[in-house]
Amino acid sequence: MKTVQKGFTLIELMIVVAIIGILAAIAIPAYQDYITRSQVSEAVTLGGGLKAPLSEYGADKNAWPTALIAPDATAQPNQLNATIIGKYSTVASTLGGTYPTGTVTVTMTTGKASGSTLLYTTTNGGSNWDCTTGTIEQKYRPNACKP
């Protein structure tokens, strides 16, 4: 009399669990890096959105604004309304440097890159901006901001 096997053996189940573990060990760190890159892209967008208004302000007044303030606040003379707070990053409320040289600092506030900075710099009054400096790791930066 022959018996028919029903179900899986312990070895077969252990092999499946091992394969799933190996795949998870590779996929989870890659996914975390992907999430961090998407969070850093918000910092790039916030800083990039300031390039045109700052260039225009500098060209009109031959100086940088003394402060960047929230869009719904009332701007005083020498201040510029701008979106400076995002979900994952914040733009510093003041610019570094003296016109025509300037630096906009965007700081990551959450995630793996929390506390890291992305710097937008210009040496010609905002005609050209460079985002290749700062403390955010290169692997998290978009290609436009890699040296």
Q: Which domains does the chain have, with CATH numbers?
A: 10-145 (3.30.700.10)
How would residue 75 be classed by pLDDT, with cut points 50, 70 and 90? confident
Instruction: Give the pTM.
Output: 0.84
Residue labelled with tokens 């994952």:
88
| Cα 2 from Cα 131, distance rounded (Å) | 73
Q: What pLDDT digit, counting tens, does each position of 35-50 carry?
A: 999 999 999 999 999 9
Q: How far apart are CA 55 and CA 77, in angstroms?
A: 17
pLDDT of residue 2 exceeding 80, the answer is no
Residue 1: pLDDT band (50, 70, 90) is low
Model confidence at 22, pLDDT cuts 50, 70, 90, reads very high
Task: Write down the pLDDT at residue 67.
Answer: 94
pLDDT of res. 3: 73
The residue with tokens 């500098």 is 58
| Whole-number Å distance between alpha carbons of 41 and 28 | 20
Q: CA 119, 94, 129, 108: dihedral to nearest 10 degrees?
A: 30
Q: What is the Cα–Cα distance from 27 to 126, expressed in whole angstroms?
A: 41
**Contact 136/117 with Cβ under 8 angstroms?**
yes
Residue type at position 12: E
Q: How far apart are CA 16 and CA 103, in angstroms?
A: 53
